[in-house]
Amino acid sequence: MFVIITYDVNTKRVNKLCKKLKEYLTWTQNSVFEGEITKTQFLKCKQAIETIIDPDEDSIYYYVVENPKHMKKSSYGTDKGSMDLFF
């Protein structure tokens, strides 16, 4: 399945969250990770996220596309997919 995860987290936790998400998905834009992932990996990723974030302060959105053949993606402008910004 194809997953897109977006987030808005406190700056104290953003680097830790990005490092964890990088283990599962590809960073594509500020506060956005996406990629092909198995259901088991997705569950592990969600569990890891829940140990990092503060649900009273932070928000995470999960978009799951069971069949990515039915999804179109287009972009315009600068590619922001470099992880160098976080490390």
Q: What is the pLDDT of residues 50-76, one digit of tens each?
A: 999 999 999 999 999 887 677 777 777
Please indicate whether residue 66 or residue 5 has the higher confidence score (pLDDT).
5
Phi, psi of 27 (to 5 degrees): -75, 130
**pTM of the shown model:** 0.83
- Structural domains of the chain, ranges and CATH numbers in brackets: 2-68 (3.30.70.240)
Q: What is the pLDDT of residues 20-35, one digit of tens each?
A: 999 999 999 999 999 9
- Dihedral of alpha carbons 74, 1, 44, 46, sign: positive
pLDDT band at residue 81, thresholds of 50, 70 and 90?
low
pLDDT band at residue 87, thresholds of 50, 70 and 90?
very low
